[in-house]
């Protein structure tokens, strides 16, 4: 088998996600449980999942005062993008974010959600790199046949990048299936590479910096080398939430957009200082050491505005993976910029 899930927890999460998706078209989803604020402000409280030791764009937007009436309620940390948007689709949270291909898969499965703003991307400073040991015999795409590549989750960003890299370098579908994807927690990936348990490690952020600084590894390729700067994934809102709370949707999306531009315009040391203050203040028993490795907002579009290419970039992979049929991808039906004050024609 090509796809190897080595952690029972990851397998369980994948099964749970599949079951949730399978029921989307068979039964009606719960309506939005976002609560009205009780302080008379007329605001709305949005439930969400965060990420340990980091500050998300909505959290930053709230701290900067860009969400004057929208309140955020943290309900725990997400394990992956697909899980995060599944939670939003099934009413466990009110928004979630994931790789564009995972968003397509969720909507194609029948989930009534809409992508509303890009929340991550890649650029020359911040990207996903695919690393091998210095002495590895792997030097070209064809050398990956029969080898193991560690990814954080299946059906998401890393898998799409790997498959696209192999497709663009002439590997056939049958050859691509022989490249094994192994699911590993990102924090364990470097050591798994050094122990020889995998052949290629997918690394980004501080984990990439640590591996490079420790020596003994070299880059095989990166998603930035493959595509240049690009938007990687979007936050989604449920249709029922948008219908019930259009003003809150507008404030939330525009707040995230403004937070993106604040990160872009603010000196790096000041961004890190702000992140540090937010993490220390919220009291979740987190560490701030890794914040020093923050490099850039890495979202090329102004205010995270979404465009068709954010989805069509992955069309070949989506079709080859069977997520959509040939020629069936209709990106204009997947997203809206109407709530984004920084997007052309948005925020009206």
Decide if 99 contacts 160 (C-beta within 8 A). yes
Per-residue confidence band for 136, with pLDDT thresholds at 50, 70 and 90: very high
**Mean of the pLDDT values across residues 271-291?**
94
* Residue 34 C-alpha from the chain's centroid: 23
Q: Above 60 in pLDDT, residue 31?
A: no
The 10s digit of each residue's pLDDT in 187-231 is 899 999 999 999 999 999 889 998 999 999 999 999 999 999 999
pLDDT of residue 205: 86
- CB atoms under 10 Å from CB of 140, counted, come to 9
- By CB atoms closer than 10 A (0-12, 13-18, 19+), residue 55 is buried
**pTM for the whole thing?**
0.86
The 10s digit of each residue's pLDDT in 100-133 is 999 999 999 999 999 999 999 999 999 999 999 9
Average pLDDT, the chain: 89
Token pair, residue 343, equals 């997007």
The residues near 243 (Cβ < 8 Å, ≥ 6 apart) are none
The residues near 54 (Cβ < 8 Å, ≥ 6 apart) are 275, 279, 291
Q: Above 70 in pLDDT, residue 37?
A: no
Q: How far is CA 38 from CA 27, 216, 340, in A?
A: 32, 56, 27
More confident residue, 54 or 30: 54
**Mean of the pLDDT values across residues 91-98?**
97
d(CA 146, CA 142): 10
Q: Above 50 in pLDDT, residue 23?
A: no
Please report, rounded to a whole number, the percentage of residues in the chain having pLDDT higher than 90: 78
SS3 (DSSP) at 134 = coil
Token pair, residue 297, equals 């907002």
The 10s digit of each residue's pLDDT in 243-263 is 999 999 999 999 999 999 999
Q: Above 50 in pLDDT, residue 312?
A: yes
Q: Which of 262, 246, 252 is nearest to 73 (CA)?
A: 252
Report the b/e string of 61-90 with b at 16+ CB within 10 A.
Answer: bbbbebbeebbbeeeeebbbbbbbbbbbbb
The full set of domains in the chain, from first to last, is 31-123+229-333 (3.40.190.10), 129-227 (3.40.190.10)
The 10s digit of each residue's pLDDT in 138-182 is 999 999 999 999 999 898 999 999 999 999 999 999 999 999 999
pLDDT of residue 4: 47
Q: Above 70 in pLDDT, residue 19?
A: no
DSSP code, position 340:
-
pLDDT of residue 36: 54
């Amino acid at each position: 088998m090509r796809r190897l899930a080595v952690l029972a927890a990851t397998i369980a999460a994948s099964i749970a996600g599949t079951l949730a998706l399978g029921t989307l078209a068979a039964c009606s989803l719960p309506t939005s449980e976002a609560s009205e604020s009780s302080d008379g402000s007329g605001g709305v409280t949005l439930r969400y999942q965060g990420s340990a030791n980091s500050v998300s764009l909505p959290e930053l937007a709230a701290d900067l005062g860009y969400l004057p009436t929208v309140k955020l309620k943290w309900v725990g940390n997400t394990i992956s993008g697909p899980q995060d948007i599944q939670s939003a689709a099934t009413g466990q949270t009110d928004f979630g974010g994931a790789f564009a291909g995972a968003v397509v898969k969720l909507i194609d499965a029948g989930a009534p959600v809409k992508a509303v703003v890009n929340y991550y991307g890649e650029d020359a400073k911040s990207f996903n790199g695919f690393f091998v040991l210095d002495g590895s015999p792997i030097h070209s795409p064809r050398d990956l046949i029969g080898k193991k590549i560690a990814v954080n989750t299946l059906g998401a960003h890393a898998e799409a990048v790997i498959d696209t890299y192999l497709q663009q370098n002439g590997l056939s579908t049958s050859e691509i299936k022989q490249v094994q994807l192994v699911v590993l927690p990102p924090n364990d990936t470097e050591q798994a590479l050094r122990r020889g348990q995998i052949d290629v490690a997918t690394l980004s952020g501080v984990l990439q910096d640590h591996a490079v600084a420790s020596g003994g590894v070299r880059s095989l390729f990166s998603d930035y080398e493959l595509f240049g700067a690009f938007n990687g994934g979007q936050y989604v809102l449920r249709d029922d939430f948008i219908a019930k709370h259009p003003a809150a949707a507008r404030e939330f999306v525009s707040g995230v957009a403004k937070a993106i531009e604040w990160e872009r315009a603010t000196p790096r040391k000041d961004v890190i200082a702000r992140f540090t203050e937010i993490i220390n203040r919220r009291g979740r028993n987190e560490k701030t050491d890794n914040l020093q490795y923050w490099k850039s907002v890495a979202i090329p579009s102004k205010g995270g505005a979404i465009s068709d290419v954010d989805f069509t970039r992955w069309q070949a992979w989506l079709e080859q993976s069977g997520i959509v049929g040939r020629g069936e991808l209709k990106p204009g039906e997947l997203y809206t910029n109407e709530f984004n004050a920084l997007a052309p024609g948005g925020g009206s």
